[in-house]
Amino acid sequence: MKRSGIKILGTLAVIAVILISCGLLVPERLMIPVQGATKADWNAKSFWFSPWGASGVHKGIDIFAREGTPVIAASSGLVVNAGYIPAGGNVVSILGPKWRVHYYAHLKTVHVTSGAFVSKGSVIGTVGATGNAAGKAPHLHYAIITQIPYPWLFKAEKYGFERMFYLNPLEKLHTQSR
């Protein structure tokens, strides 16, 4: 009897360590990624809006602010990409809790490098209009991409397979005072 109880506790401990190391038990309380922004600075209906330019669907939200306004990390994590891509312009991608990638695009400047660890609330760049946002009002395009899709939650049959990998940032952002 004692041995089986110890085995069960040992198994539970291993499972807990795995879940914690994957970030699945880490609480996720995200900050609005533009300094000083409020709900009034984005259109709540813009997530998964279609048709949206060459991509067909808008896979994040656009947070409008003055050019040069600090962009802050919505969560702590590892910078997996900091650089330039044609559509996003100057971008930063951060692997955060729950294996979710937080994608920040159209930045005027980037203040972090790939491989760096950033803390929630630290400045990672500034609001701009680079990439396919050139000539438009300065804003941050912010998206959350999950590595662990849950097709039953995202109605894959209605919205398609791709939507399983994009979370609605509006449901995740903590919009109260910081």
33-63 pLDDT, tens per residue?
Answer: 999 988 888 776 775 544 445 555 557 888 9
What superfamily would CATH give domain 28-174?
A: Glucose Permease (Domain IIA) (2.70.70.10)
What is the number of other CB atoms lying within 10 angstroms of the CB of residue 163?
18
Q: Cis ω on the peptide bond leading into residue 151 (within 30° of 0)?
A: no
| Residue 59: both structure tokens together | 């896979």
Question: What is d(CA 163, CA 133) in angstroms, rounded to the nearest whole number?
Answer: 22
Exposure string of 56-93, with b = 16+ CB inside 10 Å and e = fewer, is ebbbbbbbbbeeebbbbbbbebebeebeeeeebbbbbb
89-148 pLDDT, tens per residue?
Answer: 999 999 998 888 999 999 999 999 999 999 999 999 999 999 988 999 999 999 988 876
pLDDT at residue number 77 = 92
- Whether 139 is a known active-site residue: answer yes
* Active-site residue, selected from the candidate residues 102, 106, 139, 141: 139
Between CA 146 and CA 148, with CA 72 as vertex, the angle to 5 degrees is 5
Nearest to 141 by CA among 77, 78, 55, 79: 55
